[in-house]
Structures are given as structure tokens and as C-alpha cells.
Amino acid sequence: MTEPLFETTFLRKLDRLILMTRRAMAGEMQGERRSPRRGASVEFADFRPYTPGDDIRQIDWNLYARMERFFLKLFVAEEELTIHLLIDVSSSMDWGEPNKLRHALKLAGAFGYIALSSLDRVTVTALGAEGAQRQLPGVRGKRGALPLFAFLQQIRPETAVDLSTACHRYMRTARTPGPLLLCSDLLDAGWEDALRALSSRPFEITLLHILAPQELDPQFDGDFRLVDAEGGTAVEISADLDALRRYRENLTSWQAEIESFCSGRGINYFFVDTAISVEDFVLSRMRQRGVLR
């Protein structure tokens, strides 16, 4: 039997959160978010002059009594957003303790559940090889939580994934821009091109850069043969104190490079250590950074 993604107590905590967006985006169906369109919610937005054919029920008669001209009351429309969850399923993600891919699936599930609680639409894509990209087209509302979790639990890693190609392919097919969450370890030479592709359209992007504790602080000593999980290339190394020091320096520099790259493109960058529980990360760090409230 597949282990559930979340305990019920955690889901109750997620029910109290909402996903924040930096800008208004027009959706397709009525939801619980402010839209740039004018609609028929209870929150007043503006007036505009009456024109023949308008609904006379929206005329402000108090304003007519003062100005002897007809004006319509406009209200903020509340519409759904489409939340895009993208998960890197390359072999490098299926590694570490706690496992990076499992951690990514839980983070995506938590993010998606919060969006569903706000009546937003959620779509999930496993970024796989050409022709193997798996997708949950779109679910909405609390009833969408079960198919969302079921889809996430069925995701399996693939041998090799070209992250750049997968992101370009997604940009060509995604219909409605909105908040986008990418979960990846970025252990792909094309990570920069992948992020450029995602930022080429008006998505509000959050990147969860996921690494395992064994990658952050490897405990090696002696001679080893390392094999690339995706390309199969083998490298002989001698792990001593100097080599481990240089590794950590390069890792810190790489993380800073990614964060700077994201900052220049308006991408929310989060470094994720899988040793930190999903509950602590979501309820603490993502709220502190203003992605959730």
C-alpha cells in the first residue's frame, strides 16, 4: 500500500493558508481571487458612465440624484488562477536520504492543496523525456485533492531528462499563465536555458532548488568511483579534506549563481534541504518569504 503524502493534521494547517501573487491575473471561472477584470462581487471598484444596453440594476441612483447623470457601479471580479506545478523526474532526483523526488512530490502536493482550497485550478506536469511527459490536466476545489495526490504518488523517475527541452516544451503547450512552481535539483547543464524558457511568458515563478544532505555535506574518505546516474559516465576521485573543502566552496558558489540568476528575472528562489521537513519548510520559510500567508 502506498504511503499517504500527508497526515490529516498537516492538511488542516494548510487549509488556513493562501497563495500570494504579486500581480493580478485574469482567470476563466469564478474563484476567490481579485482579477484585473470588473465583475459582480461585493467589493466596490469604480464607476463608469452608463451606455445604452447596460444592466440598469447596476445604476447608482444616489450618484444620479447628485449629478443627474447615470453611472454604473463596478465591482472587483473574483476569478480562479491556474497554478502550474512542474516536477523534475530525472534520475538524479531519485537519490538521497530523505529522497529528493519524494520531497519534491510532497512540496508540490502541499502547494497544490493550498491552491485548491482557494478554488484555484491546479495542473501538474512531470518533466520527462520527449514523448514521456506526464500531466494532470487540471483539477479544481477541495474535490481535486484526491486526484492530485493520486497523480503525484504515481510519478516515477526517468533515466535521463533534458530539463531545458522539457521546459521549452511546456511553454509551448501551457494555455493560461499563472503562478508556477518548479521543483528540481538543477543538476542539468541546461538549467539556465530552462529557467529562461519559463520566464519567457508571464508566469509568476517559484523555484524550489532541492538537494539532499549527502550532497551538501558529503562524508567521503579515500578513493571512490562515481557514476553519473543519467549519463553513466564514471569518474575516479580521491576524497580528502582539501577535495571536500573545494567541493563545498564550489557548491556555495553555484547556489549563489542560481540565486542571482533568479533574482535578475523575478523568480522566487528557495533552497531546499531535504533534511528539513516539508511541514517546517511550508509553514515557516515560505510564509516568512511572503509566498504563502
Distance from C-alpha of 46 to C-alpha of 74, rounded to nearest angstrom? 5
Distance from C-alpha of 177 to C-alpha of 174, rounded to nearest angstrom? 7
Do 63 and 192 fall into the same domain? Answer: no
Q: Judge whether 2 lies within some domain.
A: no
Q: Judge whether 47 lies within some domain.
A: yes
- pLDDT, one tens digit per residue, over 230-253 is 776 888 888 888 989 999 999 999
Do 119 and 215 fall into the same domain? Answer: yes
CB-CB contact of 126 with 167 (8 Å)? no
Do 41 and 116 fall into the same domain? Answer: no
pLDDT at 87: 97
- Domain of 251: which CATH number? 3.40.50.410
In which domain, by residue range, is 61 found?
34-79
Distances (CA, A) of 30 to 33, 229, 247, 292: 8, 45, 51, 21
Split the chain (293 residues) into runs of 10 and give each run's mean pLDDT. Answer: 86 90 51 44 61 76 84 62 95 96 98 92 89 83 94 91 94 90 96 97 96 92 77 80 92 98 97 97 93 89
Q: Judge whether 124 lies within some domain.
A: yes
- The b-or-e profile of 178-214 (16+ CB within 10 A means b, else e) is bbbbbbbbbbbebbeebbbbbbeeebbbbbbbbbbee
Strands (E), the chain: 30-49, 71-79, 82-88, 121-127, 134-140, 179-184, 204-211, 222-227, 234-239, 268-273
What total number of domains does the chain contain?
A: 2
Do 101 and 171 fall into the same domain? Answer: yes
Do 95 and 60 fall into the same domain? Answer: no
